[in-house]
């Protein structure tokens, strides 16, 4: 990628990018299920800041540079909102924490904050440990596994953890159906994009009919969760985030959340609460399966964790090298590969004019592979995140959970969950992967382009940790 220098022209230069066709703009390269490849080609051609002309005069500005990302997400964030670009997501999530703006978002964020504070995270560890040990027991009971769909099992595990920690309910029986439904929904809203470029959902196209049927299925799951919670089935209901939402009252009217608001928040938590971590766990275990040198160091460090009780947050924080492996995995495979905003007013970034009402896409996937900030960017190297090295980089060169005021509220939850699950699984098993390296594709979130199939072998604690590729 060619870094764009700062420009002195106060008027702002026109952004580079393909000219496209009259009326339809540059749409043909994006008629594909996976958007990574066309964007990678455009970044290679035009550099890390360019524009794409969309149908009917709309503009998309692509950002793959940390200086421009900081401008949008922090220093000039008031000009960049979750507008029409989130219309597709709102069809699924309504006005939940991820999609809402302004006073509503601030209120929902205040309600959610206590559920992710360290004291609450400490209490979640027992549930996470119990769920992970249940999966490990299941694996062990099946003997030596030569063909395990890793992503499917990590999705099942993280959905169960979200159900127990945030809702106080055992949702394991519906985890498979929920995982499939979420995957299909994410792919559908990715294809739809902003409402300005799509047919309204009420028009009975085949895709719209299928999407409405999918929404009804997800609504049924969510209202079942709310109904079970209200019926008193939840464990420690007063300590769950759903309990906080049900008890919340508007400061002015004294009214609680409507069923529709509850639906939006529960669905948001259910989806966002598992998607990042299941992806992170899958890719981390896969990387370890392909890198025996890294796996040996991780296994030795993880063997220092207790087996007779649940580790504390402090003990999990002490897993320095394991944390570096997790960070490097997130660098190469950020689950949220792009962060979208709409510009309210015309602006200038790095000397280039940003049109008003443009779709602005910040791409952590490409920023975190920018050679100017990450030498040999495709190489998996956890030592990039050794403390002395990490402190020398631009903060916005690494943003898998976004940055600024809207940084992911569940970041620490996901990182502690990942450390704990890895420590439990890797104390018992070696992970092996063979064959060509699996790639990734952008289908709503960043996902593997083929099933992550691995083999497991039971290991002895304290043995030499050889994990063969």
pLDDT at 193: 57
* Residue 23 in domain: no
What are the tokens at 208?
């719209």
Under 8 Å between Cβ of 342 and 325:
no
**Helix, strand or coil for residue 145?**
strand
* Residue 329 in domain: yes
pLDDT at 27: 60
Backbone angles phi, psi at 21, to 5 degrees: -105, 155
pLDDT at 469: 30
* Residue 386 in domain: yes
Rg (CA), the chain: 22
* Residue 9 in domain: no
Calculate helix-pair angle for 118-141, 411-428, nearest 10 degrees: 30
CA neighbor of 278 nearest in space, from 142, 180, 187: 180
Q: Return the sign of the alpha-carbon dihedral for residues 402, 77, 368, 450.
A: positive
pLDDT at 5: 45
Report the C-alpha gap between 323 and 344 in whole angstroms. 38
First to last CA, the chain: 31
pLDDT at 186: 78
Angle, CA of 154, 155 and 156, to the nearest 5°: 90
Q: How far is CA 392 from CA 144, 218, 388, 396, 442, in A?
A: 44, 45, 7, 12, 30
The residue ranges of DSSP E strands in 316-464, in sequence order, are 339-343, 347-349, 352-354, 359-362, 429-432, 440-443, 445-448, 453-458
Report the C-alpha gap between 114 and 243 in whole angstroms. 12
Report the C-alpha gap between 302 and 209 in whole angstroms. 49
pLDDT at 240: 84
pLDDT at 461: 54
pLDDT at 10: 46
Domains identified in the chain, total number: 1
**10-residue averages of pLDDT along the chain (469 residues):** 44 84 54 78 94 83 96 96 85 87 86 85 93 94 83 91 90 80 78 61 81 88 90 86 81 78 87 86 96 95 92 96 98 94 96 94 96 95 89 89 91 95 95 89 85 87 40
- Domain range spanning residue 432? 28-458
CATH of the domain at 329: 1.10.630.10
The distance from CA 91 to its chain's CA centroid, rounded to whole angstroms, is 19
pLDDT at 402: 93
* Residue 242 in domain: yes
231-239, Cβ contacts within 8 angstroms, sequence gap of 24 or more: 233/169, 234/167, 234/168, 234/169, 235/164, 235/168, 235/169, 236/168, 237/168, 239/120, 239/123, 239/168
* Residue 463 in domain: no
pLDDT at 301: 96
**Helix, strand or coil for residue 420?**
helix
* Residue 147 in domain: yes
Q: Is the pTM of this model over 0.85?
A: yes
Calculate helix-pair angle for 259-290, 175-192, nearest 10 degrees: 100
* Residue 320 in domain: yes
pLDDT at 30: 55
């Amino acid at each position: 990628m060619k870094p764009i220098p700062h420009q002195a022209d106060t008027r702002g230069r026109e952004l580079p990018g393909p000219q496209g066709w009259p009326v339809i703009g540059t749409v043909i390269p994006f008629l594909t299920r996976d958007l990574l490849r066309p964007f990678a080609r455009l970044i290679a051609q035009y550099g890390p800041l360019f524009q794409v002309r969309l149908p009917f005069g709309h503009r998309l500005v692509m950002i793959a540079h940390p200086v421009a990302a900081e401008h949008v997400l922090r220093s000039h964030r008031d000009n960049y909102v979750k507008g029409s670009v989130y219309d597709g997501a709102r069809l699924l999530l309504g006005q939940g924490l991820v999609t809402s703006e302004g006073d509503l978002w601030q209120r929902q964020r205040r309600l959610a904050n206590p559920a992710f504070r360290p004291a609450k995270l400490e209490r979640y560890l027992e549930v996470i440990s119990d769920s992970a040990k249940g999966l490990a027991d299941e694996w062990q009971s099946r003997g030596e596994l030569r063909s395990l769909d890793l992503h499917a099992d990590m999705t099942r595990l993280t959905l169960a953890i979200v159900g127990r920690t945030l809702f106080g309910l055992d949702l394991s029986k519906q985890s498979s159906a929920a995982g499939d439904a979420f995957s299909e929904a994410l792919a559908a809203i990715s294809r739809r994009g902003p409402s300005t470029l799509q047919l309204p959902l009420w028009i009975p196209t085949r895709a719209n009919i299928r999407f409405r049927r999918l929404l009804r299925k997800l609504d049924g799951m969510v209202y079942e969760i709310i109904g079970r919670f209200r019926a008193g089935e939840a464990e420690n209901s007063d300590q769950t985030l759903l309990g906080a939402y049900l008890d919340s009252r508007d400061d002015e009217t004294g009214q609680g959340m409507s069923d529709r608001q509850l639906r939006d928040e529960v669905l948001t938590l259910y989806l966002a609460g598992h998607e990042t971590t299941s992806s992170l766990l899958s890719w981390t275990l896969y990387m370890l399966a392909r890198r025996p040198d890294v796996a040996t160091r991780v296994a030795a460090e993880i063997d220092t964790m207790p087996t007779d009780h649940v580790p504390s947050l402090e003990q999990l924080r002490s897993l320095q090298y394991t944390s570096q492996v997790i960070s490097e995995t997130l660098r190469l495979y950020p689950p949220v590969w792009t962060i979208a905003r709409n510009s309210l007013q015309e602006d200038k970034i790095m000397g280039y004019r940003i049109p008003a009402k443009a779709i602005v896409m910040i791409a952590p996937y490409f920023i975190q592979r920018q050679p100017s900030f990450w030498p040999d960017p495709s190489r998996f190297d956890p030592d990039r995140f050794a403390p002395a090295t990490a402190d020398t980089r631009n903060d916005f060169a690494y943003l898998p959970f976004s940055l600024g005021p809207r940084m992911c509220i569940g970041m620490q939850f996901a990182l502690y969950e990942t450390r704990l699950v890895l420590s439990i699984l890797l104390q018992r098993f070696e992970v092996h992967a063979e064959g060509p390296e699996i790639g990734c594709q952008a289908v709503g979130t960043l996902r593997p382009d083929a099933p992550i199939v691995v083999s497991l072998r039971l290991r002895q604690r304290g043995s030499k940790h050889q994990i063969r590729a």
